A and B are shown apart, each in its own frame.
Chain A
């Protein structure tokens, strides 16, 4: 994005009255960055409005079924309130489209800085686009598809009737009659990744047969690929933007204010002794970490996914590298691993996750979103989110054994059923800490731990730290908090794949 030049060109454009050409559709893939100059005030207000919008998108997605009527109504009123394009039919909404365009690009700058931020931004932008695309009329949808080069050819009626049985069996929610009515498109797998992954379409000979009603998945898939690439590129060119002292604090603040802290800055390093861990795991661990801790104690081993999830959590609650090495080693050598094998095979990756090996990236503890969305546990794994990845029956037993009252268990299971895993965890927190409303939204295991410690220790010493970093998400974007929380953690930009460390690159067999 340019902040100096381009004004003249744009002004000319405006005067000539071809605003519409600039934004032919209410929807776009944000392929071209804006080139006009804007004032810092506008810059900031656009950015904050979009953040508000994305935050609403996130909250609605947590508490409502996406695409349900309440979800739609609430999102629409928000778009209207914040003056973003809300109805595609409104022809002359140049200002709204411009705001949509510019604010998206500002947030890109703020949210390209770490993998966690990118993930959050991507998710919300996808949800927003999904909503907006589905609100389009058929005609506009077709126009938009052509505009972004995604028009596919429908398969012939002959082929369709030949494949009718398989199409019907492959496409949930489509009966035989509907199959006959719908158009089907033959789409390369790369364009239909999500439908392919979830087995929601018929796959044959390397092609997906996608019904018209699922075409939004293809649009979203395409958008995600583009946006994710763009974010990676933006991250690379970030240093030049960051050198602008007017923007740098603002961008940093923007990224911190809504996702919350990433818990990589260790304020409490060294404040926990290894002897405390067992007790802490019962009192202050979220269920996922408690499960990992127990599995580790029982089996004297954890597989890679578990070591990463738990190890980084421990780092986040303040274990030093030396403590971590001691902790893992003590436990592992009680099992099948001898000291020598530990030093050779496992110590490296622990040092690696503390940024002492390889690329020397200081890895951040996993957030709830990451735990829920990526790398689900498989055979022999204990990581993941217990609310997301356990059988409800087992979860129930576990909660019973942890003395959660039956009414609470019912509530939790109800939330799990509605796929509100974080809310279920929040409920678990409330029940185990005997509070009615925790007054924050839970999105990180380390946040859980910190809040728990704060409550249990009477909220004295930890409170200060947390109100600086921990709860800033609740605050408005006032100028003063902007200056206080500008510790950049841009070292986390390396792709997630790096994080698996050397060891994960080798397959044990």
Chain B
């Protein structure tokens, strides 16, 4: 792909914000149902303008006002901050110290530069399809701890239509050859795990609020997003989690961190008995990718220099014999088998004359593959993080949500760039390029299946249209169909800028990503509705209304 030219942004951004940015679902997301008064209005947005000019503490009365502002100033980058005690754009008018961040999504930032000591293919900001597997692993490991393995799918109520594209993308993967073949194994085993690990029936939308997540953190709503260049972000949006203190956020990151130490530490993972279930389960996720990624792809035991780096992590008494035997083995895979065998022997119960059990093979796998979270991003409630669907100003790629169902096929290089989605002309009515697939490196994954899969059942479609209509200013409130959308926060302001026709992103390669985003927002709305129903049901059932919410299952209290 030709390198992206940031100089083109001033021309492209206006079209992007006017016709492609998914303002509708975006506003519904950050409005959180309008349940908490002024939640959207108290949210900080920060814009980066041309020449790296930061504008912090922007805030808006409604999603529509944000939309207009975006279309007016066309920021190079959008960051989302916290929900504050006062409107951020008025922060100068309140007493210093009174203006405090109150809530925010729990966010995780995983950045490929933090893996420089364990990748051989690229360094710093560069990425390639080989090392991108690290991000795939990172998402799988963290998401497992947040939501659970089977639930990655079960939490998606729409799994019925999505099961169809499955053979679809398998075909696509096989066809892509070479390096993609390398991914087959993990994908296959993941699928196996999913099938085996889904004891609960696929829930229908109506019962989905009853699905209780059972993994470590018991999270329900999270969105994974490609950052646009070299990393991924996760937004955990559960009501209770958004209220977490910085200390608890930091604790969560530490709980989820196994690789520790800076440039002055060689051995960054240390496992001792008893091995916590989190570690055990993380190892089993990493294991699925390890051979294809680390042994074949990165070839970490390929040469004496590279295996010395690995052997430095092995206890001395085992290191020397291995160093002697490694040259006799054919390749990384064989050498790994040898090393692993030695380690497993130390863990065999009642092994003759063995000392303490040693987990060096696990430690190596984790040091080479386990996600490295940036604690500072997660800890501070006031910390800014690049918004989903913001354009990365350097690469021009749109920061798109990840579809975990097809995570193994996600290709950062196939992510639509602003120039591509707009097309060469940039201004024409759709333009011929607007509806085509990306020119090359096309995986059938994001583009093709969606063409069918997001022909939604009529219900959602009409609701979306209703939402559109309300946004274009006819009424504002209950038009949203379900009363839980942006209704609560939408003032009836006329919006001349929105065109009445469906938004243009639906015609572009951005569409499948917007669909993922919409599903995420819809699922949150559904859960909220379920909660409301449950509560009102409870109060009807005889208990006093005030008792309703208290008796509910409120985690983290």
Interface presence of A204 (CB below 8 A): yes
* Interface of chain A: mostly helix, strand, loop or mixed: mixed
When the two chains form their complex, are residues A507 and B384 in contact, meaning their CB atoms are under 8 A apart? yes
B interface residue count range (under 10 / 10 to 19 / 20 to 34 / 35 or more): 35 or more
Number of cross-chain contacts by CB at 8 Å: 167
* Inter-chain contacts of A345 with B (CB < 8 A): 52
The stretch from B202-210, B263-271, B434-442 touching chain A is: B263-271
Question: Chain B residues near A295 (CB, 8 Å)?
Answer: 263
A322 within 8 A of B: no
Q: How far is the CA of A393 from the CA of B531 in the complex (A)?
A: 56
Cβ of A202 within 8 Å of any chain B Cβ, yes or no, is yes
Does B541 sit at the interface, judged by CB under 8 A?
no
Interface set, chain B 206-260, CB cutoff 8 A to A: 212-219, 227-231, 240, 244-248, 250-252, 254-255, 259-260
> Which of chain A's residues 159-176 have a Cβ closer than 8 Å to chain B?
166, 168-172
Which segment, of B165-173, B276-284, B290-298, faces chain A? B276-284
Interface membership of A127, Cβ < 8 A: no
B380 interface residue per 8 A CB criterion: yes
A193-B247, A509-B386 given; A497·B264 CB < 8 A? no
- Interfacial chain A residues near B385, Cβ < 8 Å: 507
Name the residue on B nearest A202 (C-beta): B277
As a 0/1 sequence over residues 349 to 391 of chain B, the CB contacts with chain A under 8 angstroms (1 = contact) are 0000000000000000000000010111100101111100000
Given contacts A166-B277, A197-B251, are A380 and B228 in contact (CB under 8 A)? no
Stretch at the interface among A313-321, A383-391, A429-437: A383-391
Q: Taking the nearest CB of chain B, how far is it from the CB of A369, in angstroms? A: 17
Which chain B residues border A172 with CB–CB below 8 Å?
A: 274
Establish whether residues B116 and A379, one from each chain, have CB atoms under 8 Å apart when the complex forms. yes
Interface residues of A in 360-405 (CB under 8 A from B): 375-384, 386, 389-391, 393-395
- Interface pair A379/B114, CB less than 8 Å apart: yes
Q: A205-B213, A206-B556, A504-B376 are in contact. Are A380 and B116 (CB under 8 A)?
A: yes
Contact A389 B261 (CB under 8 A): yes
Binary CB contact string for chain A from 185 to 227 against chain B (1 if under 8 A, 0 otherwise): 0001110011011110011111100000000000000000100
Least CB separation from B51: chain A residue: A344
B interface, over-half SS: loop
Which among B79, B278, B384 is the interface contact of A199 at CB below 8 angstroms?
Answer: B278
Bound complex: CA of A240 vs CA of B28, how far in Å?
46
Pick the contact of B255 from A203, A236, A381, A504 — CB < 8 Å? A203
Query: In the assembled complex, which residues on chain B have CB atoms less than 8 Å from the CB atom of A169?
Result: 274-277, 280
Q: Complex Cα distance A224/B331, Å?
A: 54
CA distance A194 to B247 in the complex (A): 9
Say whether A383 contacts B262, CB under 8 Å.
yes
What is the 8 Å Cβ interface bit string for chain A, positions 489-509, against chain B (1 contact, 0 not)? Answer: 000000001001010111111
25 cross-chain CB contacts under 8 A: A170-B274, A189-B251, A190-B557, A197-B251, A198-B254, A199-B278, A203-B216, A205-B213, A205-B555, A207-B555, A375-B375, A377-B263, A377-B264, A378-B114, A378-B260, A378-B375, A379-B372, A384-B262, A394-B264, A497-B380, A500-B376, A506-B384, A507-B109, A509-B109, A509-B386
Residues of A whose CB lies within 8 Å of any CB of B are: 166, 168-172, 188-190, 193-194, 196-199, 202-207, 225, 236, 291, 295, 304, 344-345, 359, 375-384, 386, 389-391, 393-395, 497, 500, 502, 504-509
List chain B positions with a Cβ less than 8 A from chain A: 52, 54, 56, 79, 81, 96-97, 109, 111, 113-117, 212-219, 227-231, 240, 244-248, 250-252, 254-255, 259-267, 274-280, 372, 374-377, 380, 382-386, 392, 555-557
